[in-house]
Amino acid sequence: MKTWLVRCLLGGLILSTPALAQDEDEDPYATPDEESSRSSDDDYNRPEPVDQTDEFREVSEQEGEDGDFQRMSGLDDPNLGVAVELIAGALLVDSSRGEFSDNLLGLGVRATWEFGRILDNEALREALWADLRWTYGGLSDGTAFISGDTSLHYFTIAPAYELKLGKSDFGFFAQAGGGLAYQATSITVDADVTKVNGLKPVLQGGVGFRGRPRLTSSGNLRLAFRVEALAFRRGYMNDFFLGGSLGTAF
């Protein structure tokens, strides 16, 4: 009898379902409606995220020495935006003899400054620049008895806008400016020399292709070159320059 009773008790313990530990927050006697109400109260009491967009916008708009944020445009660019180039090409001078032009060898030098770097605009940093240019051409004609020597000097300042080819160091440009043209003429008749000098306003305009590839991977020294077609309006005369330039930029 005792053996049968012990066996019954052991069988009941084995077949009984183990009690699982419940979560501390769970109420075993709570109804489904009470559980839903408790979840809603927890969501209501949870703090909402704070929108700091306006605060960051106000701080980022602060400028000047007293502002916490200053625009960093150009600080990672070591270039000064200055270039010096030697010019060579064909100078087509308006002919006084009724021909299309007197073709001369045009030589000169120019200095370029990328003044767009002083503007706080990333798109205009290398797109705006200006040239300070001197172009020279000389012409001689006549006979052994009478001859004339003429030299032309163009001094111009011309701002330009360049359309960059993506993120590269190359682009197409258009420019327009003005300055002065100085003409010195010497007329020789036998042994007598007569000099005639004149100064006229000149307008300059043209288009071209410009490049500034790096010469070193770490430094800021660049090769500056240009291919261009320019027109000079010298008084009532029209002169043209077809050529290019080569120099350095830094």
pLDDT in tens, 118-161: 887 888 888 999 999 999 999 888 787 888 888 999 999 999 99
Question: What is the per-residue pLDDT for 8?
Answer: 59
55 pLDDT tier (thresholds 50, 70, 90): low
Total residue count of the chain as it appears in this document: 250
Distance CA 203, CA 238 (A): 10
Greatest CA span in the chain, whole angstroms? 160
The answer to whether 83 and 115 are in contact (CB under 8 A) is no
Question: What is the per-residue pLDDT for 64?
Answer: 47
| pLDDT tens digits for range 60-81 | 555 544 544 455 555 555 678 8
Topology (CATH level 3) of domain 82-135+154-175+201-249: Porin (2.40.160)
Q: Which two tokens stand for residue 141?
A: 């004609």
Question: What is the per-residue pLDDT for 19?
Answer: 47
